[in-house]
Amino acid sequence: MKATEAEFLSFTFTGKRIRWSEKSLNRFRRKILKLTSRSWGVSMEYRLKKLAEYIRGWMGYFRITEYYSPIPRLDQWIRRRIRCCFIKQWRKPKTRYRNLIRLGVDHIKAASIAASSKGYYRLSKTYAAQLALNDSFLSKLGLVSLKDLWIRFHHPR
pLDDT tens figures, 76-131 = 999 999 999 999 999 999 999 999 999 999 999 999 999 999 999 999 999 999 99
pLDDT tens-digit map of 23-82: 889 999 999 999 999 888 899 999 999 999 999 999 988 888 888 888 999 999 999 999
How many angstroms separate the Cα of 48 from the Cα of each of 7, 102, 106, 156?
Answer: 32, 21, 27, 25
pTM: 0.88
What pLDDT score was predicted for residue 3? Answer: 46
Residue of higher predicted confidence among 99 and 4: 99
- What is the number of helices (H) and of strands (E) in the chain? 9, 3
What pLDDT score was predicted for residue 65? Answer: 83
Closest by CA position to 84, among listed 72, 76, 26: 76
Instruction: Give the residues across from 19 on adjacent strands.
Output: 12
What per-residue string of b and e applies to 53-88 under the rule 16 or more CB within 10 Å gives b?
A: ebbeebbeebeebeeeeebeebbebbbbbbbbbbbe
Closest by CA position to 15, among listed 72, 73, 66, 69: 66
What pLDDT score was predicted for residue 4? Answer: 53
What pLDDT score was predicted for residue 2? Answer: 59
CA distance 112 to 114: 6
- CB atoms under 10 Å from CB of 132, counted, come to 23
Contact 31, 47 (CB under 8 A): no
Contact 81, 54 (CB under 8 A): no
pLDDT tens-digit map of 8-24: 777 777 777 778 888 88
pLDDT range class, residue 5, cuts 50, 70, 90: low
